[in-house]
Amino acid sequence: MQAEIITIGDEILIGQIVDSNSAFIAKELNKIGVSVYQITSVEDDRDHILQSLHQASERSSLVILTGGLGPTKDDVTKQTLCEFFEDELVRDEGVLQHIENLFAKYISTPISDLNRNQALIPSKATVLHNAYGTAPGLWLKKGETSFVSLPGVPFEMKRLVLDQVLPRVIETYDRPHIIHTTLLTYGLGESAIAERIEEWENNLPYHIKLAYLPNLGRVRLRLTAKGRDKEKLEKEINEKVEQVYPSIKDIYYGIEEDGAIEERVANLLTKKGMTLSTAESFTGGKIAEELTSIPGASAYFKGTVVSYATETKINVLGVPSELIEKHSVVSEEVAISMARNVKNILNTDFAIATTGNAGPSKGDSDEDIGTVFIAISTPECTFAEKFTMGNHRERIVKKSVNKAFELLWKEILKF
């Protein structure tokens, strides 16, 4: 079976927000064996929504809509659904009670008619209870196709998908299994990899697809298998991975589904009971932020000094000012001093330090824009490596954060 997603809202079509809702829904549907055939973003406009509903229902047996359920005038999804289903809005007493409770509990302003109107529901719809907001989800059927309408607020949408939509989809549809395994590689372009693995790729069976996903100096190789027998699929994918491994082992660094590199660092440190601190200059706290976005970080992450100014490197991190004068602030020696000192100050087993020039101006150093040093301090040694990361500020920071985690990960494995 296949599904479609329709996201409704002018803010997507004028580029005011990035549509992350549909990526979330697509990923969750995929996990339970539902392929998403198309994602369509349309305006808050009756005619356009109707056209999309018609087209989607001709192609797919499940259509999920997000957005346009708010209480204000610019939102027209509910009225348009009534037209599409030749239905009318009726008051749902359960929803009204829930809205009144939310207002009494959390909202300081008095409840208004606009709020009460959110309890008006197409009479043919099943209500999906939205514990976190005033707009309920709706489940409707026309012929063989189910239509699900969800609020566009990401947090409310996510809870509705996980708690209400997925269980109903599992109950309603017979679905195959879809398994993704994504091999992570670095240091080689997609066409060079394609040549290395050409014979293996040509011999993949029809139900296993390969995709090359290049980004920021890395290529991810995604294998997707689809079929009825989950165990057989997993066995086949594992065999294919083992077959290809010898051809890519020098550029391979893991499997995406095992978690991102920062998660693998986190798991490894937690398992070993070891700790980490960071001293960040041009990465500006990005390494710390990625670490602390993982629940449980307090077990292994003690803290960071973001030493954006040179005087902070001297006064807080204790980097000798002579070292900076002699080698400049963007240098191997300063990176090593930062890593070693933050490890001592924060009393940790490992430390990462970054110093570099992310542009757009040259700052306190003579090094070219894109030149960075990443230092790793371990219980046994401290070293720094130099990298040239291009000339685009955001990319320099992202690539450096990735590289820092890669370097650290390889070191932690030794302990």
The answer to whether residue 13 forms part of the interface with a second copy (CB under 8 A) is yes
The answer to whether residue 268 forms part of the interface with a second copy (CB under 8 A) is no
Closest separation in Å from C-beta 93 to a second copy:
20
The answer to whether residues 208 and 224 touch, using CB atoms and an 8 Å cutoff, is yes
Pick the piece of the chain touching a second copy (CB under 8 A) from 191-199, 322-330, 368-376, 404-412: 191-199
Q: Among 90, 170, 192, 381, indicate the residue that binds a second copy (CB under 8 A).
A: 192
Closest separation in Å from C-beta 47 to a second copy:
11
Pick the piece of the chain touching a second copy (CB under 8 A) from 301-309, 332-340, 377-385, 402-410: 301-309
Closest separation in Å from C-beta 124 to a second copy:
26
CB hemisphere CA count around 56 (13 angstroms):
30
- Output the furthest CA–CA distance in the chain (Å, rounded): 79
The answer to whether residue 367 forms part of the interface with a second copy (CB under 8 A) is no
**Of 199-238, which residues contact a second copy (CB under 8 A)?**
201, 209-215, 222, 224
Query: What gap in Å lies between CA 378 and CA 273, rounded to an integer?
Result: 14
The residue to which tokens 């594992």 are assigned: 238
Query: What gap in Å lies between CA 186 and CA 221, rounded to an integer?
Result: 11
The answer to whether residue 55 forms part of the interface with a second copy (CB under 8 A) is yes
Closest separation in Å from C-beta 239 to a second copy:
21
Q: Among 27, 91, 235, 326, indicate the residue that binds a second copy (CB under 8 A).
A: 27
The answer to whether residues 378 and 407 touch, using CB atoms and an 8 Å cutoff, is no
The answer to whether residue 22 forms part of the interface with a second copy (CB under 8 A) is yes
**Of 86-115, which residues contact a second copy (CB under 8 A)?**
107, 109, 112, 114-115
**Of 68-87, which residues contact a second copy (CB under 8 A)?**
70-75
The answer to whether residue 274 forms part of the interface with a second copy (CB under 8 A) is no
Burial 110-149 (b: 16+ CB within 10 A, else e): eeeeebbebbbbbebbbbbebeebbbbbbbbeeeebbbbb
The answer to whether residue 272 forms part of the interface with a second copy (CB under 8 A) is no
Judge if the upstream peptide bond of residue 360 is cis by omega within 30 degrees of 0. Answer: yes
Q: Which of 86, 159, 75, 140 is nearest to 114 (CA)?
A: 75
Pick the piece of the chain touching a second copy (CB under 8 A) from 82-90, 227-235, 292-300, 328-336: 292-300
The number of residues that bind a second copy (CB under 8 A) is 110
How many other C-beta atoms are found inside a 10 Å radius of the C-beta of residue 160? 24
The answer to whether residue 191 forms part of the interface with a second copy (CB under 8 A) is yes
Q: Which is nearer to a second copy, 289 or 368 (CB)?
A: 289
Pick the piece of the chain touching a second copy (CB under 8 A) from 42-50, 160-168, 327-335, 378-386: 42-50
The answer to whether residue 251 forms part of the interface with a second copy (CB under 8 A) is no
Q: Which is nearer to a second copy, 125 or 346 (CB)?
A: 346
The answer to whether residue 381 forms part of the interface with a second copy (CB under 8 A) is no
The residue to which tokens 């409704």 are assigned: 8
Closest separation in Å from C-beta 369 to a second copy:
11
Q: Among 316, 318, 386, 407, indicate the residue that binds a second copy (CB under 8 A).
A: 316
Q: Which is nearer to a second copy, 213 or 381 (CB)?
A: 213
**Of 128-167, which residues contact a second copy (CB under 8 A)?**
153-155
Residue 330: helix, strand or coil by DSSP?
Answer: coil
Residue 395, φ and ψ in degrees, nearest 5 = -70, -35
The answer to whether residue 16 forms part of the interface with a second copy (CB under 8 A) is yes
Residue 177, φ and ψ in degrees, nearest 5 = -95, 140
Q: Among 143, 246, 273, 295, indicate the residue that binds a second copy (CB under 8 A).
A: 295
Residue 408: helix, strand or coil by DSSP?
Answer: helix
Q: Among 225, 261, 346, 353, indicate the residue that binds a second copy (CB under 8 A).
A: 346
Q: Which is nearer to a second copy, 238 or 315 (CB)?
A: 315
Three-class HEC string of 133-172 = CCCCEEEEEECCEEEEEECCCHHHHHHHHHHHHHHHHHHH
Pick the piece of the chain touching a second copy (CB under 8 A) from 79-87, 168-176, 331-339, 390-398: 390-398
How many other C-beta atoms are found inside a 10 Å radius of the C-beta of residue 151? 25
Share in percent of the chain as helix, strand, coil (round to 5):
45, 25, 30
The answer to whether residues 16 and 50 touch, using CB atoms and an 8 Å cutoff, is no
